[in-house]
Amino acid sequence: MRLLLDTHVALWAVTDHPRLSGKARRLIEDQDNSIVISAVTIWEIAIKHALARGGPNDMPISGREALDYFAAAGFELLPISPLDAAAVEELPPIHADPFDRMLVAQALNVPLRLLTANPRVMRYSDTVIGV
């Protein structure tokens, strides 16, 4: 199975964060699964890191550092295609976050299974796996 990681799940996976659920850990570590990181995730990390102002929810690593972590973990990188971008307009207005909407569009368009802990994102499709 090809698994697209939502940004928070991707970060938890490479930092062995305690919020990474057992279910997510098993899916990510399963050698039969391919782990995919979207360019959307790198973009989100880079933007949030650049805008960080020292708050508790600020992005602690840069986009470049994230790329290095994901490469070291052996994760596949997925570009954003024009078809992915156009697919966003077909999504119902469940969630307004543009990064999450693009990840959902990519998961549906490619297709991939999206791993997320975000309850709003889980509502988009049964191809989204809540972890």
Give a three-class secondary structure readout of 10-59: HHHHHHCCCCCCHHHHHHHHCCCCEEEEEHHHHHHHHHHHHCCCCCCCCC
Interhelix angle 98-109/39-50, rounded to 10 degrees, is 170
Q: What pLDDT was estimated at residue 56?
A: 59
Distance between CA atoms of 42 and 48, rounded to whole angstroms?
10
Residues in a beta bridge with 38: 78
Q: Residue 67: name the closest of 98, 97, 44, 100 by CA.
A: 44
Q: What pLDDT was estimated at residue 54?
A: 65
Q: What pLDDT was estimated at residue 60?
A: 80
Distance between CA atoms of 113 and 36, rounded to whole angstroms?
10
Alpha-carbon dihedral 66, 70, 73, 74, rounded to 10 degrees: -160
Q: What pLDDT was estimated at residue 16?
A: 87
Domains detected in the chain: 2-130 (3.40.50.1010)
Q: What pLDDT was estimated at residue 27?
A: 97
Q: What pLDDT was estimated at residue 55?
A: 65
pLDDT in tens, the chain (131 residues): 999 999 999 999 998 899 999 999 999 999 999 999 999 999 999 999 988 766 656 788 899 999 999 999 999 999 999 999 999 999 999 999 999 999 999 999 999 999 999 999 999 999 999 99
Phi, psi of 113, deg, nearest 5: -95, 125
| pTM for this prediction | 0.93
